[in-house]
Chains A and B, each alone.
Chain A
Amino acid sequence: MSSVESLSLEKGRGGGGTGLERSTEKISLLRMVFGCAAIGSLLIAALFAPWIAPHDPTLDDLFLINMPPAWLNDDLAYFGIEDAWAYPLGTDSLGRDVASRLIYGARLAVIVGVSVACLAALAGVILGALAGFYGGWIDNVISRIVDVWLSFPPVLLSIILVAMLGTTLTSVIIVVAVIDWTRFARVVRADVLQQRSRDYIDAARITGGSDLSILIREVLPNVLPLLVTLFFFEIGIAVTVETILSFVSLSVSSGAATWGDMIAEGRRVINEAWWVMAFPVGALVITILGLNAMGDALRFYLDPVLRK
């Protein structure tokens, strides 16, 4: 699990950055460019999968098992195909096209990542904001729940929860969101707590703003930079956890082409067909790198304190 969270979290607690990690303009720009490139290609693959992918990602062909990538494929006769580039990245242990699975995998990664991040952010922001804004017993109850949640070993809990809910895309999304909402709740609570005591909130109160409007108009915008950063990290975490669950044979079933599924499958034939595992691992790592870079860069650009 990424440890980026607590870093940003602690920064949040300290109030918009203790300035411990000083991102310079140049590095942030580099991060932004890399993040945009990685996320951009991910989104393109996800959106246009049916048009880009050369084959149906779930269609197996027992005569094309473990075929190497096109540039290494020197035995076309054995596989009975004419053009090696019909399967550019080779095939897996069921004869399915690795490139197509990789592209459709991007689509599922985006679906899982964004859904988890949205759900977790929604739950976390609401509960965190309530706790931070009202304090008192509301804060006590919510903080207590967060404490309990943070005390679970996350990997173990996700394995148990998926065993409970079954192996579908929806249950994987729910499980990761259920485990990770505290990430947002803690950050939002700490920030709101701090904002609450500021003068402009009092000013808004005096002019007769309702609690909700103060929260939405005055408090949340100040939390936004950190939220955006967290949101990007959360997408990466969701994709990673999906991989972990596949790894213990507990993820999305029905042959859906998730990267985690491909990695788990490729591991079994790694010595014979390295390409089945290598490409999704590469895609996963680049995606997470891209998301992290984007998160860091966005925090730099959005957060006036860090930018000073």
Chain B
Amino acid sequence: MARLLVTIGSIFLTLLGVSVVIFVILRLVPGDPISMMLPPGATDEVRANLERLYGLDKSIPAQYVIWLRNVAWLDFGMSTQFRLPVMEIILDRLPATLELVLLASLIALVLAFAFSILAVWLQEDSATLAIDGLAGLAQAIPDFLWALIFILAVTLFAPMMPVSGRFDPRTAQEFATNFYLLESLVTLRLDAFAELVRYAVLPALALGLPLAAGITRVLKGALEEAMAQDYVMLAQTKGKSRLAIVLGEALRNAMIPTIALTSVQLTFLIGGTVLIERQFSWPGIGSTAISAVINRDLPLIQGIVLVFALIFILINLASNELYRAADPRLRTAR
């Protein structure tokens, strides 16, 4: 119980630190929302009036205190671009990002498991080398370049694949939530689900490939290690096939350390949504973040950065816990 309280306290402390840093940085960046909305011919009075309206006429500490006081009541301010409460915009876009991240992680896991198991099963140098090479390549090409390559490939070879948005706006889809993928799956609207997956698969693949490579490297190592253990010998003497051993014994033992070691890499994947969403016009918080920066929508940037921070903190926490669970040596340390 006490440990839980300490954890929650430290989450808040970290978020507070994040908010101070981003608040100060944003106010040092040249350009503000007012400059963005001044038309030719606007006078200094117009500017002063608008600054007053948006509360930008006060000192930075004063602005921060006001902002923090409002945040305490879960009021993150109004977006200057969208003219809606920041919280509402974020809650509206977050599902799109989460679904993309989920699908990307899923793709990464499937690819990583398939290739690692294949490598360990085949046990041949050439296969290992090929899979190592592929993983190295997948990791060396950053996600946004993958996205670029996919978009080019689609226009050249597969014009039926969509490269923008979550679904075709020509089809009027009715959804109760913004979790389109999950909702269509749960309500068994499989046609809609397939259509949604078709739109999501390329951005998810671009995001997931580097992570897939990362997981492959770890999982392959873990599997190899597991295969050298005594119980594998035992299983072999019992006449089990190599594939059965890999899938049965080795995988079970390699799973936990792999998840522990790679879960922290999920943060890179999530951070990557900023660019990928923009490239695929995916209406999540990542693409919203870029347009917020371009338009100097300060309240919205602050809100989005905090949301990202919260997600990152939670993932780091979870990965630490998993790691602790996976590595007995650490349990005794400290």
Direct A–B touching, Cβ under 8 Å: yes
Of A40-48, A67-75, A84-92, A155-163, which stretch is located at the interface? A155-163
Report yes or no: B142 in contact with A160, Cβ–Cβ below 8 A: no
Question: Is B76 interfacial (CB 8 A cutoff)?
Answer: no
Report yes or no: A20 in contact with B222, Cβ–Cβ below 8 A: yes
CB-CB under 8 A for A160 and B25, given A2-B139, A10-B323, A150-B316: yes
Report yes or no: A1 in contact with B272, Cβ–Cβ below 8 A: yes
Greatest chain B CB density within 10 A among A15, A153, A155, A292 is at: A153
Chain B residues contacting A18 (CB-CB under 8 Å) are 257, 327
Chain A residues contacting B305 (CB-CB under 8 Å) are 152-153, 156-157
B287 to chain A, nearest CB (A): 11
B12 to chain A, nearest CB (A): 12
B143 to chain A, nearest CB (A): 8
Cβ-neighbour of A151 out of B14, B143, B144, B330 (below 8 A): B14
Assembly CA distance A281 to B148 (angstroms): 11
Contact with B along A142-181 (1 / 0, CB 8 A): 0011011011111111011101100000000000000000
Interface range on chain A (Cβ under 8 Å from partner): 35 or more
Tally of A-B residue pairs with Cβ under 8 A? 168
Report yes or no: A3 in contact with B211, Cβ–Cβ below 8 A: yes
CB-CB under 8 A for A156 and B274, given A151-B309, A285-B141: yes
Closest to B310 in A: A151
* Interface positions of B from 257 to 309, Cβ below 8 Å from A: 257, 260-262, 264-265, 267-268, 270-272, 274-275, 286, 289-290, 293, 301, 304-305, 308-309
* Interface positions of A from 109 to 145, Cβ below 8 Å from B: 144-145
Assembly CA distance A150 to B315 (angstroms): 11
Question: Is B218 interfacial (CB 8 A cutoff)?
Answer: yes
Question: Is A195 interfacial (CB 8 A cutoff)?
Answer: no
Assembly CA distance A147 to B316 (angstroms): 9
CB-CB under 8 A for A147 and B139, given A153-B305, A244-B275: no
Report yes or no: A6 in contact with B265, Cβ–Cβ below 8 A: yes
Report yes or no: A148 in contact with B129, Cβ–Cβ below 8 A: no
Report yes or no: B132 in contact with A27, Cβ–Cβ below 8 A: yes
CB-CB under 8 A for A247 and B144, given A7-B214, A164-B30: yes
Report yes or no: B140 in contact with A155, Cβ–Cβ below 8 A: no
Report yes or no: B139 in contact with A292, Cβ–Cβ below 8 A: yes
Question: Is A297 interfacial (CB 8 A cutoff)?
Answer: no
Report yes or no: A20 in contact with B144, Cβ–Cβ below 8 A: no
Report yes or no: A248 in contact with B290, Cβ–Cβ below 8 A: yes
Question: Is A14 interfacial (CB 8 A cutoff)?
Answer: yes
CB-CB under 8 A for A1 and B218, given A163-B29, A247-B275: no
Assembly CA distance A163 to B297 (angstroms): 14
B223 to chain A, nearest CB (A): 9
Question: Is B72 interfacial (CB 8 A cutoff)?
Answer: no
Report yes or no: B261 in contact with A148, Cβ–Cβ below 8 A: no
Contact with B along A9-21 (1 / 0, CB 8 A): 1100111001111
A282 to chain B, nearest CB (A): 11
* Interface positions of B from 1 to 31, Cβ below 8 Å from A: 10, 13-15, 17-18, 21-22, 25-26, 28-31
Report yes or no: B25 in contact with A288, Cβ–Cβ below 8 A: no
Report yes or no: A1 in contact with B214, Cβ–Cβ below 8 A: no
Closest to B261 in A: A10
Report yes or no: A155 in contact with B271, Cβ–Cβ below 8 A: yes
Chain A residues contacting B213 (CB-CB under 8 Å) are 3
Report yes or no: B218 in contact with A288, Cβ–Cβ below 8 A: no
Question: Is B312 interfacial (CB 8 A cutoff)?
Answer: yes
A60 to chain B, nearest CB (A): 25
A307 to chain B, nearest CB (A): 15
Report yes or no: B225 in contact with A20, Cβ–Cβ below 8 A: yes
B96 to chain A, nearest CB (A): 16
A150 to chain B, nearest CB (A): 7
Greatest chain B CB density within 10 A among A6, A20, A22, A157 is at: A20
Cβ-neighbour of B152 out of A20, A236, A270 (below 8 A): A270
Question: Is B90 interfacial (CB 8 A cutoff)?
Answer: no
Question: Is B145 interfacial (CB 8 A cutoff)?
Answer: yes
Greatest chain B CB density within 10 A among A145, A147, A154 is at: A147
Report yes or no: B218 in contact with A14, Cβ–Cβ below 8 A: no
CB-CB under 8 A for A19 and B225, given A10-B323, A289-B136: yes
Question: Is A251 interfacial (CB 8 A cutoff)?
Answer: no
Pairs A–B under 8 Å by Cβ, sample size 25: A1-B142, A3-B210, A3-B213, A3-B214, A4-B214, A10-B260, A13-B330, A14-B329, A15-B329, A20-B218, A20-B222, A26-B125, A145-B17, A148-B17, A150-B316, A151-B14, A152-B22, A152-B312, A153-B270, A153-B271, A153-B309, A155-B274, A155-B275, A160-B25, A160-B301
**The 3 A-B residue pairs with the shortest CB-CB distance in the complex, in nearest-first order:** A21-B221, A148-B17, A151-B309
Interface residues of B (CB under 8 A from A): 10, 13-15, 17-18, 21-22, 25-26, 28-31, 125, 128-129, 132, 136-137, 139-145, 148, 152, 210-211, 213-214, 217-218, 220-222, 224-225, 257, 260-262, 264-265, 267-268, 270-272, 274-275, 286, 289-290, 293, 301, 304-305, 308-310, 312-313, 316, 323, 327, 329-330
